[in-house]
Amino acid sequence: MGESKLRQRLKTVKDRIRKVAESCGRDPGSVRLVAVSKTMPADRVREAIASGVTILGENYIQEAREKIAELSEHPVSWHFIGHLQTNKSKYAVKLFDLIHSVDSLRLARELNKQAGKINKVQEILIQVNLSEEASKSGTSSGELKELATEISQLEHIAVKGLMTMPPFFDEPERAKPFFSELRRLRNQVGAAAIPNLGMDELSMGMTGDFEVAIQEGATLVRIGTAIFGQRM
């Protein structure tokens, strides 16, 4: 697959983001694209950066450590979007500008501790599991407000908003209620005006459903396949 293919795909994705944002009266600049590069080798990621990608999303700490080291000369932002094991927190705070997938106080406390050691305030999103699928990570909507309140008190953590991953549907429209529910929760928790708690970001939407997510208010879309092609 040549460079032009990736470039073309990226352009198509950006056009689709712009079109859907405009069609629902949103500023296309209010939707940031996270190019999900998990399983993609550093060369492909370099190509994506050369084509204009500025935020990369990774799921696995070990893989990300190697890739980020290899691409350290590029001024891009790396986001962690996968399930984070507590014992990997010390790497996560060194590598990532935003961690999308914090779903427990235990993990947040460890991130706080590790971020403190390197004098960093780690930005995070709280992942919410709206489908109640046991296999998925995320806090329940019922526990969200309490968790957010406790995390907001951690000195080296800055909560920026929420993330979710709905079940997979063939028809993206079916994911819509999950996205609108995340927005409702964001507004609800935001309205509680908890000190030191940001609720501006909504990380939702992937290759199959990002347009619907943008209609429902996504500020970060996490797109892999539509940019890089099928993963091996």
- Shortest CB 18 distance to ligand PLP, Å: 18
Burial of 114: CB neighbours in 10 Å, binned 0-12, 13-18, 19+: buried
Instruction: Verify binding: residue 223, ligand PLP, rule CB under 6 A.
Output: yes
- Shortest CB 201 distance to ligand PLP, Å: 14
- Shortest CB 9 distance to ligand PLP, Å: 11
Name the strand (E) or helix (H) holding 227. Answer: helix 225-228
Interface with ligand PLP by CB under 6 A: which range of 88-96, 174-182, 187-195, 220-228?
220-228
Tokens of 51: 């084509």
Q: For residues 190 and 208, which CB has a smaller minimum distance to ligand PLP in the complex?
A: 208
Nearest residue to the partner ligand PLP, using Cβ:
224
Distance CA 51, CA 68 (A): 18
- Shortest CB 91 distance to ligand PLP, Å: 18
Identify the residue among 59, 129, 141, 164 touching ligand PLP (CB under 6 A).
59
Cβ-based neighbours of 157, under 8 Å, separated by 6 or more: 108, 111, 112, 115, 121, 122, 124, 151
Instruction: Verify binding: residue 207, ligand PLP, rule CB under 6 A.
Output: yes
Distance CA 138, CA 119 (A): 27
Alpha-carbon separation of residue 120 from 43, 98, 156, 198 (angstroms): 30, 12, 6, 17
Instruction: Verify binding: residue 36, ligand PLP, rule CB under 6 A.
Output: yes
Which residues contact ligand PLP by CB under 6 A? Answer: 36, 38, 59, 81-82, 165, 206-208, 222-226
